[in-house]
Structure 1
Amino acid sequence: MNKNKILSILSNLGRSLMMPIAALSAAGIFLGLSSALKRPEIIELLPFLGNEYVFYAVSMIGSVSGVVFTLIPALFAISIALGLAKTDKETAAFAGFVGYYTFLVSASILVKSGFIAVDNLRVASILGVETIDMGAVAGILTGLIVASLHNKYHNIKFPDAIAFYGGKRFVTIVVIVVMALVGQIMPFVWGPVSNAINLLGELITSAGQFGVFIFGFLERLLIPTGLHHILNSVFRTTSIGGVLDGVEGALNIFLQNIGQVDMSVLAPYTRFLAQGKFPFMIFGLPAAGLAIYQTTPEDKKSRVKALLIAAVAASFVSGITEPIEFAFMFIAPPLFLFHSIMGGLSFMLVSMAGVVIGNTGGGLIDLVIWGVMQPGSNWFRVILIGIPFAFIYYYTFKWYFTKKGIVIESTDEELEYIDSPEVNEISSDTKSLNIVKGLGGFDNIVSVDNCISRLRVDINDSSLVDESLLKSTGAMGIIKQSDKHVHVVYGPAIESVAIGVKKIIKENN
Structure 2
Amino acid sequence: MGQGHGRNGLNKKEVIVLEKIQRFGGAMFTPVSLFAFAGIMVALTIIMQNPLIVGGLATEGTTWYSVWNVLEGGAWTIFNQMELLFVIGLPIGLAKKANARAAMEALVVYLTFNYFVSNILQYFGSTFGVDFAAEVGGDSGLKMIAGIKTLDTSILGAIVVASIVVWLHNKYFDTKLPDWLGIFQGSAYVVIIGYFVMIPVALLTAWLWPMVQTGISSLQDFMATSGTFGVWLYIFLERLLIPTGLHHFVYVPFNFGPAIVEGGLQKYWMENIVQFGQSTESLKTLFPEGGFALHGNSKVFAAPGIALAFYFTAKKENRKKVLALILPVTLTAVVAGITEPLEFTFLFLAPVLFVIHALLAATMSATMYAFGVVGDFGGGLLSMASKNWIPLFSNHWGTYVTQIVIGLSFTVIYFLVFRFLIQKFNLKTPGREEANEEAKLFTKKDYKAKKAAEKGEALATANGGNQYTEQAGLFLEALGGSDNIETISNCATRLRVSVKDINLVQPDEAFRAGGAHGVVRNGKALQVIVGLSVPQVREQFELLAHQGN
Is TM more than 0.5 here?
yes
Distance in 2, matches of 1:504 and 1:197, equals 45
Please give the residue correspondences for 1:21-36 in structure 2 after superposition, counting only pairs within 5 Å: 21-36=32-47
Instruction: Pick from 413, 426, 430 the counterpart of residue 459 of structure 2.
Output: 426
- Say yes or no: does 1:255 pair with 2:300: no
Equivalent residue letter for 2:129? V
Counterpart of 1:239 in 2: which secondary structure?
coil
Q: 2:386 matched to which residue of 1? A: 369
Q: 1:169 matched to which residue of 2? A: 188
Percent identity between the aligned chains? 27
Aligned CA RMSD, in angstroms, stands at 2.6
Q: 2:406 matched to which residue of 1? A: 385
Counterpart of 1:330 in 2: which secondary structure?
helix
- Say yes or no: does 1:284 pair with 2:302: yes
- Say yes or no: does 1:5 pair with 2:16: yes
Change (3 A) 1:475 1:41: same
Q: 1:312 matched to which residue of 2? A: 330
- What do the CA deviations read for 1:67-101 (whole angstroms, capped 9, x no partner)? 32121122122222332211111111111111211
Contact conserved, 1:253 with 1:269, CA < 8 A, in 2?
no
Q: 1:476 matched to which residue of 2? A: 517
Counterpart of 2:259 in 1: which secondary structure?
helix
Distance in 1, matches of 2:141 and 2:505, equals 50
Instruction: Pick from 64, 67, 72 the counterpart of residue 62 of structure 1.
Output: 72
Counterpart of 1:130 in 2: which secondary structure?
strand
Equivalent residue letter for 1:371? N
Q: 2:363 matched to which residue of 1? A: 345
Counterpart of 1:357 in 2: which secondary structure?
coil
Q: 1:404 matched to which residue of 2? A: 425
- What do the CA deviations read for 1:388-421 (whole angstroms, capped 9, x no partner)? 111111111111222222333589x999521698
Change (3 A) 1:206 1:270: closer
Equivalent residue letter for 1:468? E
Q: 2:242 matched to which residue of 1? A: 223
Shift in Å, 1:293: 1.6
Q: 1:451 matched to which residue of 2? A: 491
When the two structures are superposed, what TM-score results if normalisation uses the length of structure 1?
A: 0.90
Contact conserved, 1:4 with 1:482, CA < 8 A, in 2?
yes
- What do the CA deviations read for 1:299-326 (whole angstroms, capped 9, x no partner)? 4333332221122111111111111111
Change (3 A) 1:497 1:426: closer
Q: 1:301 matched to which residue of 2? A: 319
Q: 1:178 matched to which residue of 2? A: 197
Distance in 2, matches of 1:390 and 1:277, equals 14
Counterpart of 1:2 in 2: which secondary structure?
helix
Instruction: Pick from 502, 506, 509 the counterpart of residue 462 of structure 1.
Output: 502
Runs of at least 5 residues in structure 2 that lack an aligned partner in the other structure: 1-11, 132-139, 440-445, 462-468
Instruction: Pick from 501, 506, 509 the counterpart of residue 541 of structure 2.
Output: 501
Equivalent residue letter for 2:541? V
Distance in 2, matches of 1:419 and 1:107, equals 53
Equivalent residue letter for 1:107? V
When the two structures are superposed, what TM-score results if normalisation uses the length of structure 2?
A: 0.84
Aligned residue pairs, count: 498
Distance in 1, matches of 2:115 and 2:489, equals 33
Q: 1:328 matched to which residue of 2? A: 346
Distance in 1, matches of 2:248 and 2:331, equals 22
Shift in Å, 1:2: 2.0
- What do the CA deviations read for 1:195-239 (whole angstroms, capped 9, x no partner)? 333334443334211011000000010010111112111112333
Q: 1:103 matched to which residue of 2? A: 113
Runs of at least 5 residues in structure 1 that lack an aligned partner in the other structure: none
